[in-house]
Amino acid sequence: MTTATSYEHIVLNQSGVALIEGTNTKIVEIVLEMKAYGWSPEEIHFQHPYLSLGQIHSALAYYWDNADEINHDIKERLNRIEEIRRQSGSGEIKEKLKEKGLI
């Protein structure tokens, strides 16, 4: 079940996460690729040929109109990753790899 938005090609899933309609691609994923790799819409299309340039541009328009919310989501995701890293600490496997000089 999805909900239409005023952006062509963009829908919200049941959790309120913005997706490109007809795909499982989240807007936040497109934004992260744009930011992390400096990809243009054309490069995103090259890397994801199943997305049209129209879909990509709609995703980016949605981002720029909702940047505060999406940037907050990105920060929350990064914080969760960091917390998982802290909690995992040094496990048994990690210690064995250190003993062998592999990490």
Longest alpha-carbon distance in the chain: 56
* Domain-wise residue ranges, the chain: 3-99
Residue range 61-84, pLDDT digits in tens? 999 999 999 999 999 999 998 888
Protein fold of 3-99: Arc Repressor Mutant, subunit A (1.10.10)
The residues near 40 (Cβ < 8 Å, ≥ 6 apart) are: none
Q: Say what the pLDDT of residue 24 is.
A: 95
In this structure, the number of other CB atoms found within 10 A of the CB of residue 72 comes to 11
Distance, CA of 49 to CA of 100 (rounded, Å): 43
Q: Which strands sit side by side in the sheet containing 18-20, from one edge to the other?
A: 3-4, 10-12, 18-20
Q: Which pLDDT value is given to residue 71?
A: 96
What percent of the chain shows pLDDT beyond 90? 71
For 52-62, how does the pLDDT look when each residue is reduced to its tens digit (9 = 90+)? 999 999 999 99
